[in-house]
Structure 1
Amino acid sequence: MENKKEKKQSKGRRKIEINKISKKSSLNVTFSKRRQGLFNKAGEFCVLSGAEMAIITISPGGKTFTFGHPSADAILNRHLTGNSTSGESSTNLVKGFWWDEQSIESLDLEELNQYVESMEVLRKLVALKVDEMEKGSDQSPSDFLAMDSNSLLDAFASSEAENIE
């Protein structure tokens, strides 16, 4: 009898080859998981270090996803215009949300009615999107957030046009 127990050799942590994934479904799953992990790590890095960063990823299907801290648009605009100061981002953090910009008390009756209509349209658009997502559509909540803001504005403008007529 042997007193020594043979240890099973594990492969342990080792370097893997980087190859293109040929199976389309595996490629999509891997992209989705890796993208989310990348965005989570980037967000954690920004919070811990105070860094500002923007990440743009394009899925195998051609959809574009962005991450930015404080926002991808602000960082890209600052980079493209050549401004190296981050004062713009700190003022954006101080401003807060767009609905906090103007006090409701200062609006007259016509502006209040328009504000109420705008909020109703926004509520309807969000409710429609929630219904779509509950019915099992292919889009995830992050796709909704990544959706082009022009489509929301177009929907809002068309509903405003219907209200005017």
Structure 2
Amino acid sequence: MGRRRIEIAEVKNPNTKLVTFSKRRTGLFKKANELSVLCGAEVAIVMFSPGQKPYSYAHPSVDVVADKYLRRKRRSNVVGANVRENNASNEVGERLCQELSAVEVLTEEEHKKATELEMREKEQEASQFSQNKELLQSSPALQRMVKDYVDAMEVSECMLLLAKEAVIGVPNRPITKRRRRN
């Protein structure tokens, strides 16, 4: 059939969109690999899938390429742009510091909660252990009580049997009237 030209438009079907993304991502990563091997270029690709999963390819690494790109971009700006960029970066930096401190506070609160939960869990385990120990210690006493109860039941059963038959081992003879001989 060969290759055909496709219309460049967003794919509407979500399943088709994911399949297309996966195939295109693989092809794009292959091309980036070829470019880095054949030309010795430093390449970095970062993309997010329609499901918001991050994917990246880089040679030698994303951090190295991104740092190099950002350093060059900063050097190429004119002085006035540098001042604006510094002001903007200061504002961004302050905002990031505020967000970082908020995250640190939340992290500390969660750490305290985790510590408290661990302590509660240990206390609960200790109380369960002591309860189990008490049960184990009371177990022989309970066994003795049950044995005594079973023995008493056997004795009661024997007493009932004795009440029915006066003498054990002697068969009951029917009582008959004897005739007197004259």
Compare the two structures and name the one with the higher helix fraction.
2
Q: Which has the higher contact order (CA 8 A, sep 6+)?
A: 1
Which structure has the larger Rg over C-alpha atoms?
2
